[in-house]
Amino acid sequence: MSTIKGVKIKPSPKFMQAILAKHGIKCINNVVDIGNYVTLLTGQPLHMYDASRVKSKKFVVKDNVNCITRALDDKEYEISNGDLVITNNDEVACIAGVIGSASTMILNDTSTIALEVALFDGTTIMNSCKKYGIMTVAATNYSKNAVDKYNAIKASDMACALLVKYADASYVSLPYEYDKRNLKEKVIDIDLSFINTRLGSNYSTLDVENVLRRLDFAYNLSNEHFVINVPSYRNDITIKEDIVEEVVRLIGFDTIPYQMASIETKDIGLDEIHLAKRKINNYLLDLGLHNTLSYTLINKEQANYYGVFDDDSYIVLPHPLTVEKQYLRKNMICSMLQTIAYNQTRGYKDVAIYEISNVYTNENLEGKEKLAIAISNHLNETKWSSNKNVDFYMMKGIVEGLLALFGIDSNRYSFEPISKAYNKQNVFHPGKSALLKVNGANVGIIGMIHPLTLKREGIDETVYCEIDLSQFLKIKTSKAKYNSVSKFPSVSRDIALVVKEDVTISMLCKSMKKAGGPLLNKIEVFDVYQGEHVAKGYKSVAFTLTFVDLNKTLVDATVNELFNKVYASCQHDFDAIIRN
């Protein structure tokens, strides 16, 4: 930081105006133009403040300021935590490396200048540029890491000399330097064999020497070993591989010999996991669903809204491309609903999609694979065949078919109301959603999307399912078994049981199957009733029980005995009574 007094504001010299115009830089006055001119010559950005308009001699760099400031382009910008700014008396004097504040701008009556020459982190400056939508020459130099740290004092001295010459400055203070720069030269040791091995080339030491001379890199050579002094303005050269790139870039890629690699391969086929995923793909494609691939990054608002189904914490990117792509998703529902919204806003109302992808959390950095299925409006509707709108039971049937495909019997899984585990969420409809449990462990979630979420995303009625494949594919499954069709007639009996309303049909079916044994071939529900003649808090569930024996014709006595066993089991397990 330097102080320059006695300056006079006037037009800059013609040659300077011509040079700035050729680079697309607008000419303002001699002081501002000198700053831009020095930046072009040295690559070092600098900024000039009207010293008479600052309230303190102390400039402080901060990243924890929250305010609104008006910049040199006469626009207001909202400064928040994380934005790097230069302050004076706790007021923003400049958005660091990007643009100055209007409160300290050079005016026609300016006579004293505070000259700042600084080095800033390129990534931080780039984030500010993206946030505010500004890209100045200074910001470009910083963001591309193109500022030579050796040039700070040189740029300051050059600017002061030009202010004396073209702005009639009468006093220039000695520069006040804060913080020490690491001015250690970059030295890279590299062998000729390293270069040729990486490139598959056969270059000689003379070839490499010619490249280094053209780059103006000082070096020492001893027994095919180069000790290279990298110039300070080449910030992009940091490791040996960078030297390799420079060599092939200047000699030419066409000098590398072309040869097909000889690789021995073995036909090992697919492992069980890949075969299982292929089976899932084929099953869902046969049902008429479309395989999709969505982006894995979401924003903070989406993360908070859809992250209510587990306690794992999100992975937050330290330097995201945009604030909309800041969080790694830990479930796939947000991405799937966005895909539906994208299609429906373009006129495709019937959307049936699925995706197999990984999700990540801080507690599971390696990630876990999930299967997501989403259907909106209709599945496989045609002009000659109209299906009803999707509902919970359609998705439940798809999931049950998937479980059956892997040999998981109905007595091993259950669907439990989601409201028992998550009673404070607006993602799924509380009365039309459930957790999928296999062998007592949660492996998935299924349900209709809540109307509030449908409105939020701007989509039609949608049913969704998400299964943790990392857990699902570890479940022991049995091979599909074939049973021949019985040559003997089956016998059907109906039974209507009155039970408490919190007793699920799956619980009744399991009890019946256990009591009926192998002769109880099928259990079908044909009626559920609550109302007159059924006590409050109870419900009536009517079943059709089908009995069959593969070896002989069943007689009434055997069927009656099995029927009584089924009723006795339900009576014992759930206090069920037969409805009169």
**CA–CA distance, 501 with 512 (Å, rounded to integer):** 18
pLDDT at position 475, please? Answer: 85
pLDDT digits (tens, 9 = 90+) for 71-117: 888 889 898 888 889 998 888 889 988 888 888 898 999 999 999 88
CA distances (Å), origin 159, targets 18, 40, 41, 53, 250: 18, 12, 11, 21, 35
**CA–CA distance, 285 with 279 (Å, rounded to integer):** 10
**CA–CA distance, 467 with 445 (Å, rounded to integer):** 7
Residue 267 has pLDDT above 90, yes or no: no
pLDDT at position 564, please? Answer: 92
Length of the chain, please? 580
DSSP code string of 164-204:
HHHS---EEPPPP--S----PPEEEEEEHHHHHHHHT----
pLDDT digits (tens, 9 = 90+) for 149-160: 778 888 889 999
pLDDT digits (tens, 9 = 90+) for 463-513: 999 999 989 988 887 666 667 788 889 899 999 999 998 888 888 888 999
pLDDT digits (tens, 9 = 90+) for 374-409: 999 988 776 666 667 888 989 999 999 999 888 888
**What are residue 537's phi and psi, to 5 degrees?**
90, 0
Structure tokens given for 481: 């078994």
pLDDT digits (tens, 9 = 90+) for 499-558: 998 888 888 888 999 888 888 888 899 999 888 888 888 999 999 999 998 888 889 999
CA distances (Å), origin 336, targets 108, 292, 443, 454, 466: 58, 9, 19, 12, 10
Residue 285 has pLDDT above 90, yes or no: yes
